[in-house]
Amino acid sequence: MTIKVILVDDHAVVRAGFKMLLSVDDSIEIIAEAERGEQAISAYQENKPDVLVMDLSMPGIGGLEAIKRIVAQDTKAKILVFSVNDEPVFVDRAIAAGAKGFISKNSAASDLAAAIKAVAEGSLYLENTPDFNEYYPDGADKQQIIKAFSPREFDVFLLLAKGKTIRIIADDLSLAYKTIANYSTQIKKKLAVNSVAELAHIAVSYGMLNH
């Protein structure tokens, strides 16, 4: 039986490359592609794939929010996260959002194919990842704070750390400027910092901006 797959990544070259690599496996067929989370939701609804392979870092609502919305509409959705951000905090977030697997973009094509097949069969596929605590050798308190962020707080935290302005984040997430400003204030207060530069330093120190 052929596994029907939707490939979601904001880089056309990346999609083309992995589509070509997967084409050697007759049991996997790429039936649609998308480059944003919003498009992924529409493509999923239109095509009902066996597996949706999803990147996390994309314009717009991003991968995590897209996963949550798809799973909210279809609790049986099988989503495999395929991302360069393979730090444990991202794995935790993806699985919490409803993904059924997580694999690094640094993996071989054969590993991606194996992950797709495992998820299609109903298994939870998690590539071997370093222990979460390795990223927080002397920041246990902040580790717990970040892990306790709501999904929206986590998204805003990363976007702020990447240097995006409150206005741009509000536009990207389709939320009011004041809402994002409030999130920014809450996040800084929880992490006991005063500036976006400090947020960026935390994110970089914990290996969360490696893309």
- For every residue of the chain, which 3-state class applies, written as one string? CCEEEEEECCCHHHHHHHHHHHCCCCCEEEEEEECCHHHHHHHHHHHCCCEEEECCCCCCCHHHHHHHHHHHHCCCCCEEEEECCCCHHHHHHHHHHCCCEEEECCCCHHHHHHHHHHHHCCCCEECCCCCHHHHCCCCHHHHHHHHHCCHHHHHHHHHHHCCCCHHHHHHHHCCCHHHHHHHHHHHHHHHCCCCHHHHHHHHHHCCCCCC
CB distance 102 to 127 below 8 Å:
yes
In the chain, the domains with their CATH numbers are 3-126 (3.40.50.2300), 135-205 (1.10.10.10)
Sign of the dihedral through C-alpha 46, 49, 51, 55 = negative
Give this prediction's pTM: 0.64
- Dig out the tokens for 5 from the structure: 């797959």
In terms of C-beta density within 10 A (0-12 exposed, 13-18 middle, 19 or more buried), how is residue 59 classed? exposed
Taking the C-alpha atoms of residue 48 and residue 172, their distance in angstroms, rounded to an integer, is 26
Per-residue pLDDT of the chain (211 residues; tens, 9 = 90+): 799 999 998 888 888 888 888 888 889 999 999 988 898 999 999 999 999 999 888 878 888 889 999 999 898 899 999 888 767 778 878 887 888 889 888 777 778 888 999 899 888 887 754 443 444 444 557 778 888 888 889 989 988 888 888 998 999 888 999 999 999 999 998 888 888 878 877 887 777 765 4
- C-alpha torsion angle, residues 23, 63, 51, 12 (rounded to 10): -20
Place of tokens 């702020």: 160
In terms of C-beta density within 10 A (0-12 exposed, 13-18 middle, 19 or more buried), how is residue 132 classed? middle
CB distance 56 to 85 below 8 Å:
yes
Note the Cα 187 to chain centre separation in Å. Answer: 20
| pLDDT given for residue 209 in this prediction | 67
Note the Cα 63 to chain centre separation in Å. Answer: 4
| pLDDT given for residue 62 in this prediction | 82
